[in-house]
Structure 1
């Protein structure tokens, strides 16, 4: 059971939740107020929804032995375009206006994902360089769209996406669940998942076997752009504003960490979407824990990085084997000699 890819992520998540429970006994308490559920666990799911979305798209990109550093910028651009479109309307709560703004943001996110895919698959640029271009330029585009200011909107319709609720649960949870189901169906119920793993393991052999590697690579970058675009809508609608400078900042690093914690290798090949979801929840729970125990803001990132490093070391089978070997050698120094003479 310890070799299952979900074992250690679930253990780490359980340990974090247990620590929070011991530190704050009412951490697990959930109350129903005005038809909405409130509580720390609900907040983790709600505030972690954008990161889960970005991490799902990042998983498929990493499975092809790629990486997308531009997801944070796409998050900022998506929210900026949506809020700018809504702010120019006379009736900001109009369903038609909000739908137009949403479709415009998602269409642009798809185009940006296509741009990354073209640079990687078509132009043959290294993924880290190709997406670094949009990471830098995209943040500038988001600031141009917002004119360097924070665009605020007063739209109850748009606010419902990130701050509304359905069946007493935050609506963002249902959006994430829908995208996760779509990703699982496409990658586990069709041949697309095998194509992605094949391209990530050996793109040359995949091409010789008849798989259109370039199309597979472009597809995962487009999907990653779509996930980042939806995450941008969730973030901006939750606060009814768009900040081109800070929205989605460092999301690419958190998404990569979530994918790695979930068991997917940066070398490409096998990928685990459910592991990625658990990894994203670990990061969000860790963030909530840091804020709850009152860690000073200036060392928050340091504490977070130390904990994430410890999680990655715990998950590493090589690290665990080395520790166990040294422990046995120290406590049972004659064990090797005994084993050596056993026929």
Structure 2
């Protein structure tokens, strides 16, 4: 019981269950699932599909934050990736060709890797603070996306490209499958190899890690590159789902949702230990909260207020002061149980 209360996942899971309960009361068929034309549909499926881009970005953000950094440019990278892909598709004589879509996707991902390398170079080599280094791309990235689209919303009619955001594979949304693959790959690489330990080491004490032989520069460049790569995939999903590249709105504020998901999941912004499973729960909390706002009938404009309230509540419940208070309360209950004092006196004697 003590381990359960002390776990950083306890309160996020409780918050997720509370949100599920509210949705179930407002909409009794919330947990129902049905199959139409071989595809799985339902509120839970919608939460997973709509939350997939946030989870993908949050996975990369988790590793960046674990190194005591931050990446504010992921939203701009989403917009750039979508703009590049749609520009290539529209400029091709065969926009509905699988080959054209493959070239567009690969080009978008390669550009994202270059942008990630740029962020990593500024942070690891030039020593610029991560919040400033990524703020540069956050500001300039939207402008770059506007230049690529020439200030227009590029609408594409390409069935293969649409599959990325709204298609299904074996009845499951493609975006959910992509998010699951990225999450599983990141978990395996960081928890089944020494990579996760090295990331935590750099986050706890970069100088000590360097003196111990850890190549912190290369590690930092890697995590920022991966973060940009994940953001590009999320951007392609968002753009495909909208069937249009909107430089102004694609990925807008998604960096905040990703950071909130990481914080809710228990990863410290001070760097060091992190939890990818916690990030998964945090992303589900964020998306379920958005769904709850719509289900209950609250105006969508108030969504940010409720996000702030949920994050504040979870962070307060996870704080050391709150954990210490709960610890004292549990100990006081234990001392008040029959037979406990007898056992304590026996142990003393």
Q: For 1:223-275, what per-residue CA distance to the aligned partner results, in whole angstroms no more than 9, with x for missing partners?
A: 00000000001101112111100110111111111001111100111111111
In the alignment, the residues of structure 1 paired with residue 325 and residue 131 of structure 2 have an alpha-carbon distance, to the nearest angstrom, of: 32
Aligned to 1:139: 142
Task: Give the TM-score, by structure 2 length.
Answer: 0.91
Q: For 1:112-139, what per-residue CA distance to the aligned partner results, in whole angstroms no more than 9, with x for missing partners?
A: 1110000000110000000000000001
Of 59, 66, 73, which aligns to 2:62? 59
Aligned to 1:15: 18
The aligned runs of 1:1-343 (5 Å cut-off) are 1-322=4-325
User: Unaligned stretches of 5+ in structure 2?
Assistant: 333-344
In the alignment, the residues of structure 1 paired with residue 287 and residue 303 of structure 2 have an alpha-carbon distance, to the nearest angstrom, of: 13
Cα separation, partners in 2 of 1:320 and 1:81, compared to 1, 3 Å:
same
Count the aligned residue pairs. 333
Aligned to 1:334: none
Task: Give the TM-score, by structure 1 length.
Answer: 0.93
Secondary structure of 1:295's partner? Answer: coil
Deviation of the 1:304 alpha carbon: 2.2
In the alignment, the residues of structure 2 paired with residue 136 and residue 323 of structure 1 have an alpha-carbon distance, to the nearest angstrom, of: 43
Q: For 1:139-178, what per-residue CA distance to the aligned partner results, in whole angstroms no more than 9, with x for missing partners?
A: 1111111122211100110101110001111011111111
Secondary structure of 1:31's partner? Answer: strand
In the alignment, the residues of structure 2 paired with residue 296 and residue 23 of structure 1 have an alpha-carbon distance, to the nearest angstrom, of: 15
In the alignment, the residues of structure 2 paired with residue 43 and residue 167 of structure 1 have an alpha-carbon distance, to the nearest angstrom, of: 16
Secondary structure of 1:2's partner? Answer: helix
Deviation of the 1:302 alpha carbon: 1.6
Secondary structure of 1:48's partner? Answer: helix
RMSD: 1.9
